[in-house]
Amino acid sequence: MGDVAVVGAGVIGLTCALRLAEAGRRVRVLADRRPSETVSAVAGGLWFPYRAAPADLVLRWGRVSLSRFRSLASTSGTGVYWREGIVLHRSADPDLSWTAAVPGHRPARAAELPGGAVSGVVCSLPVVDMAVYLAWLAESCARLGVEFRHGTVERLDAVAQRTVVVAAGLRSGELTGDTTLEPVRGQVVRLANPGLTRWVVDDDNPAGMAYAIPRGEDVVCGGTADEGARDLAPDPEVERGVLARVGDLVPALRDARVLSRAVGLRPARRSVRLDRVALDGRVVISCYGHGGAGVTLSWGCASDVVGLAA
């Protein structure tokens, strides 16, 4: 029996399990969904601290992840790329706090800005092909002896291990009694990649947020941020709007073939919960509420989990 149970098999749960195993702990992952079925599998995979707080911890966690992803980008089979792109701004006073974690960023030149954008930041960031990356995480865990058990954890007192890491996305609130978690619905469409490598993010687009993130064979295009919505069925009208906005930003995608479409519910909270409490004779470490920044914060938060589990 492993001496640490991790509840959840998304990017946060798997990264926590891997870091704990790397630290010499015996780990068992308990999850009702396989990695490919989690909200992490829907993510565009760009490192970016979207809808996550508090700012100081987000920057610290993000820096740790940025460093790990830089290493993984040079390792074959991980699904991690290091690519240049642009974050567009349509207001005179954009939030640039995230750039403190990103070396080598620069202001966008006028020729790089589409109509309506008043400024932008050009930088190189990790881009993660989530299907490949989640499989790599799971395989890396297995190589270090992490056990996987498929099933629903209804109550933490039903878990045999005395140390439990709760990293179950939206279900984390049910397990810990936290009523502050809310879904933020995101819809994406994946297009065949016509050879693009440069990503673009346009969250301030007046017609709705827009992004295009080229990975391996596909380009993840979005998106939406519908607070409180729980419908997992892709909306054709929403998709048409996404494709129109993305086509304006990246004309090469206007005739690209649709490969797939998906909806995910981001686990949002006023701030990430990462703490340790004693509950029913167990050590319970909470690691959830990452909003749209699960990939971005994964390695930094997992390192803190290892410290709390010591």
* Sign of the alpha-carbon torsion through 279, 282, 283, 286: negative
Burial 202-215 (b: 16+ CB within 10 A, else e): bbbbeebbbbbbbb
* Block residue for tokens 């005179």: 92
Q: What is the mean pLDDT of residues 123-135?
A: 98
Domains parsed from the chain with CATH numbers: 4-309 (3.30.9.10)
**Residue-wise pLDDT tens digits, 251-290:** 999 999 999 999 999 999 999 999 999 987 899 999 999 9
107, 120 contact by CB (below 8 A): yes
**Residue-wise pLDDT tens digits, 76-103:** 999 999 999 999 999 999 999 999 999 9
- Mean pLDDT, the chain, rounded, equals 96
Q: Residue 290: what pLDDT?
A: 98
Given a cut of 50, is residue 1 above it in pLDDT? no
Looking at residue 290, what DSSP letter applies?
A: -
263, 239 contact by CB (below 8 A): no
Q: Residue 2: what pLDDT?
A: 66
Given a cut of 50, is residue 205 above it in pLDDT? yes
Q: What is the mean pLDDT of residues 188-217?
A: 96
What length is written for the chain?
A: 310
